[in-house]
Amino acid sequence: MALTVVGSVAFDSIVTPFGERERVLGGSAVHFSLAASYFTQVRLVGVVGDDFGEAERAVLERRGIDIRDLEVVPGGETFFWRGHYDYDLNSAKTLETHLNVFADFEPKLSEPSRSSEALFLGNIQPELQQRVHEQCPSASFVALDSMNYWIDNSRDSLVAAIGLVDALLLNDAEVRELTGEPNLARAARRIREWGPRLVVVKQGEYGAALFSDGGFFSLPAYPLENVVDPTGAGDSFAGGFVGFLAAHAPDELTEELLRAAVVYGSTLASFNVEEFGTERVSRLTFPEIEKRFAEFRRMTHFEHAGLPRLVG
């Protein structure tokens, strides 16, 4: 199934304890698209200024990502974010945010983007998410991401948008805030009562959890020796997860495939953090992905020989 993604395209300036980069390619739709492109055809819908050049386009086009719906605003500037990480890489300190052309983003979908069988609604206004969803009647699998800003300021619209999709992806703090539930299992059950059959909880360096009709599945993060920049890791996870599922028909989404999707999402996220921005994911090979997927499988597999004989 082809996959349409709507979200932000940005330039990021990032400082971590392990280095820094100025104005690297970023944004939720970019990180998502690159990760998903290893599994299916991706069509990106976004907006940039005319400071977005051929070098940035080439990163996306080399992965076969369709960017015909990447709108360019003449004279405008692309969304810009500057952030800093200390040794706690789970938390970024935002130093600057300039929405620029993204502030007035009104997604414009071509016929190919509207006809995709899978749709990912990235972190944009919930009202926009609903309008994009309405334009994609062919989408048989729809996933949605959001953030605490929309939970705080547009909760009713966000809950309405969530009720229309198949899968919701949020981090653990967002799930708790959205539902008012301190327990993730209860929070996920409540969200699933609103409509989504899948709730995926991103837990950063602690991994990810899936709540579905088949029950609960949890996966630890891959134990990396080299973590440089976590920016976009959650979006790369979403790209791997949704991209893998988009490669299958909706009626094929068994519990086994859903769990494999969580592993593929975690695999792509683990590559993302090894270098800055899109540097690592943009030049991955599928054999590298499959090798790490297999390492995940070995890491989480065990055999139980049975209880020892009790003495007494």
> Does 144 reside within a domain?
yes
Q: Can you give the CATH number for the domain in which 93 is found?
A: 3.40.1190.20
Q: What is the pLDDT of residues 61-91, one digit of tens each?
A: 999 999 999 999 999 999 999 999 998 887 8
> Does 105 reside within a domain?
yes
pLDDT (mean) for 1-10 = 96
Q: Are 93 and 85 in contact (CB under 8 A)?
A: yes
User: Is residue 309's pLDDT more than 80?
Assistant: no
Cα–Cα distances (Å) from 45 to 129, 143, 167, 231, in that order, read 12, 15, 20, 20
**Which of the four pLDDT bands, split at 50, 70 and 90, describes residue 92?**
confident
> Does 282 reside within a domain?
yes
Lowest mean pLDDT among 88-102, 207-221, 250-264, 297-311: 297-311
**Single-letter residue type at 131:** R
Q: Are 252 and 206 in contact (CB under 8 A)?
A: no
What's residue 276's pLDDT?
96
Q: Are 28 and 11 in contact (CB under 8 A)?
A: no
Helix (H) or strand (E) holding 10: strand 10-16
Q: Looking at per-residue confidence, does 249 or 143 come out higher?
A: 143
Q: Are 191 and 184 in contact (CB under 8 A)?
A: no
> Does 308 reside within a domain?
no
Q: What is the pLDDT of residues 93-130, one digit of tens each?
A: 999 999 999 999 999 999 999 999 999 999 999 999 99
pLDDT (mean) for 263-274 = 97
Structural domain tally of the chain? 1
> Does 312 reside within a domain?
no
> Does 305 reside within a domain?
no
> Does 11 reside within a domain?
yes
Domain that holds residue 44: 3-300
What's residue 6's pLDDT?
98
What's residue 75's pLDDT?
97
What's residue 89's pLDDT?
83
> Does 311 reside within a domain?
no
Question: What is the spatial distance between Cα 240 and Cα 74, in angstroms, rounded to a whole number?
Answer: 33
What's residue 305's pLDDT?
67
